[in-house]
Amino acid sequence: MSIKTNIENGVMNIILSRPEVLNSFNREMALSFQRALDDAERNPEIRAILISAQGRVFCAGQDLSEAIEDNGLEHKQIVAEHYNPIILRLRNIGKPVIASVGGVAAGAGANIALACDIVIASEKASFIQAFSQIGLIPDSGGTFILPRLVGFARATALMMTAEKVSASDAVQMGMIWKCVPDDTLESASVSLAEKLAKMPTRGFALTKKCLNKSMNSNLTDQLNYEEEMQDEAGKTGDYQEGVQAFLEKRKPNFKGS
């Protein structure tokens, strides 16, 4: 199985599991990943999603042997049916998504990680916009998300040079959230995911909507949207519980509704 999942303490861990080919994506793996994200979205027990990988590499992007096969898939089909639906799911799913990156993330593998809400990486991890090395353009949302994370100048240079960015440099340039020692990546990722899963996750869904909209918004539209989303957040049980718990000086028990 190219994608493994397990569910514990409100978190679905989706594990990229083709370590023998550096977790590169073929069609089967891309479609299984989409299905896993759909399952995570549908299941009310799941309140946070953690994406990690088996082996020494997080993901080497597209499986290049599949892309080059005679009578194989067209590039257009690979992007339209494999990567675009993954990126749209990651951005639109109403639950926090954490990427736990413990090795190289290259090509679509890097951009899938960067499309997650929070990226936590180990000191061994790195990020490569590998596309230019083989004459392709940065897909999987790369040209949209990367300039917004690190700025236009850095994004352009990273895309053209395909320079490997270490996890600590990625933190410095605002590409990812945190870099932790190798032996603590798993525990740090799981405890972050479990912590988020116990928080007001309905509010996270609304926060994600606001952040997504901010990518293409002006200030007036964004303020109006915040007004609308805050109205919705203020009607949740979690808001009632949060305020009640604060006033009673106790720990809140959020349900994600």
- Check binding of 142 to ligand T3D (CB under 6 A): no
Residue bearing tokens 């007004």? 227
- Check binding of 62 to ligand T3D (CB under 6 A): yes
Token couple for 11:
């978190």
- C-alpha span between 220 and 54 (Å, rounded): 45
**Closest separation in Å from C-beta 15 to ligand T3D:** 18
**Closest separation in Å from C-beta 83 to ligand T3D:** 6
For ligand T3D, which stretch binds (CB under 6 A), given 53-61, 150-158, 189-197, 240-248? 53-61
- Check binding of 60 to ligand T3D (CB under 6 A): yes
Instruction: Give 248's Cβ-side CA count (13 Å radius).
Output: 10
Going across the sheet that includes 3-8, the strands are: 3-8, 11-16, 48-53, 97-101, 118-122, 178-180
One residue of 4, 9, 21, 171 binding ligand T3D per CB under 6 A: 21
- Check binding of 238 to ligand T3D (CB under 6 A): no
Nearest to ligand T3D of 67, 150 (CB atom): 67
Backbone angles phi, psi at 166, to 5 degrees: -70, 160
- Check binding of 31 to ligand T3D (CB under 6 A): no
Nearest to ligand T3D of 130, 179 (CB atom): 130
What beta strand segments (E) does 88-177 contain? 97-101, 104-106, 118-122, 126-128, 165-166
One residue of 16, 67, 115, 120 binding ligand T3D per CB under 6 A: 67
**Closest separation in Å from C-beta 133 to ligand T3D:** 6
Q: Binders of ligand T3D: how many residues, by CB under 6 A? A: 25
Nearest to ligand T3D of 22, 48 (CB atom): 22
Backbone angles phi, psi at 122, to 5 degrees: -95, 165
One residue of 10, 102, 107, 142 binding ligand T3D per CB under 6 A: 107
**Closest separation in Å from C-beta 71 to ligand T3D:** 14
**Closest separation in Å from C-beta 57 to ligand T3D:** 6
- C-alpha span between 154 and 24 (Å, rounded): 25
Helices then strands, each counted (H, E), the chain: 12, 9
For ligand T3D, which stretch binds (CB under 6 A), given 37-45, 90-98, 131-139, 146-154? 131-139
> Which residue, among 43, 39, 33, has the nearest Cα to 256 in the 3D structure?
43
One residue of 11, 46, 139, 158 binding ligand T3D per CB under 6 A: 139
How far lies 163's CA from each of 112, 129, 130, 236, in Å? Answer: 18, 7, 8, 45
> Is the CB of residue 173 less than 8 Å from the CB of residue 150?
yes
- Interface ranges with ligand T3D (CB under 6 A): 21-22, 24, 57, 60-65, 67, 75, 78-79, 104, 106-108, 128, 130-131, 133-134, 136, 139
